[in-house]
């Protein structure tokens, strides 16, 4: 005969496990580290630079995340690389951001001021971006650092890191809308890119979801240099044509 289930013990065990996971997420810097890792695996040293932390502090935060089984590691030579352990983590982080915005007025005000008041047009959503990409109606630019692009990017996107945008915006086609994306809904690089592109007279909008939201929807993602490898040559050819004309 099966022993009776101790419901109280079952509940306590489950709630303790959920609380431990929530506790691992309850740090601004750990959330930032996870956002960076959502773009692709990184070493401790790179993560420390991105999050403006010391290597020791970064290691401490990563130890907490690894203990909660939210990140995993692999070793290559003398380097240890960290990565997101489960893509389902985005099912938690993205709704958490949305809930915080709905319930905290100061967060909503900050987002409206920085993103929406600067942008007269609504961001492109996933369905619209996918339709426009298939129809060849947009030039999609990934303004994250090249290493993040190589680790994973929306299929068909060009790598145009924000620090290179001013030099390369003249090579973007003027007969199509430019859509910029970066790390996620509240990544400032895409908003900055849209402002710069518009100042040069091109139609530009932001893809708010960034790579994590696109990936979460199951839409095509590529790795490696992809379009980025061919683009500089295309840009050079464009400049040569303009000089010749």
Q: Which residues are catalytic?
A: 182
- Using CA atoms, how far residue 22 sits from 19, 68, 144, 164, 218, in Å, is 5, 9, 28, 38, 26
Query: Is 148 within 8 Å of 39 (Cβ atoms)?
Result: yes
């Amino acid at each position: 005969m099966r022993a009776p289930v101790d419901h109280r013990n079952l509940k306590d065990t489950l709630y303790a496990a959920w609380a431990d996971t929530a506790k691992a997420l309850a740090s601004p810097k750990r959330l930032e580290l996870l956002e960076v890792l959502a773009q692709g695996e990184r070493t401790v040293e790179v993560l420390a630079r991105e999050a403006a932390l010391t290597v020791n502090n970064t290691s401490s935060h990563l130890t907490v995340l690894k203990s909660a089984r939210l990140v995993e590691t692999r070793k290559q030579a003398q380097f240890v690389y960290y990565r997101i352990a489960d893509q389902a983590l985005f099912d938690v982080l993205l709704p958490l951001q949305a809930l915080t915005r709905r319930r905290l007025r100061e967060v909503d005000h900050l987002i409206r001021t920085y993103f929406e008041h600067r942008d007269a047009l609504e961001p492109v959503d996933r369905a619209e971006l996918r339709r426009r990409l298939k129809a060849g109606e947009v030039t999609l630019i990934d303004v994250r650092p090249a290493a993040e692009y190589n680790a994973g990017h929306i299929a068909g996107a060009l790598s145009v890191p924000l620090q290179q945008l001013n030099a390369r915006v003249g090579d973007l086609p003027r007969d199509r809308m430019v859509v910029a994306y970066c790390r996620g809904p509240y990544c400032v690089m895409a908003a900055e890119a849209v402002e710069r592109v518009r100042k040069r007279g091109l139609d530009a909008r932001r893809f708010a979801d960034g790579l994590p939201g696109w990936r979460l929807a199951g839409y095509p993602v590529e790795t490696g240099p992809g379009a980025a490898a061919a683009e500089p040559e295309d840009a050079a050819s464009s400049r040569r044509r303009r000089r010749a004309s």
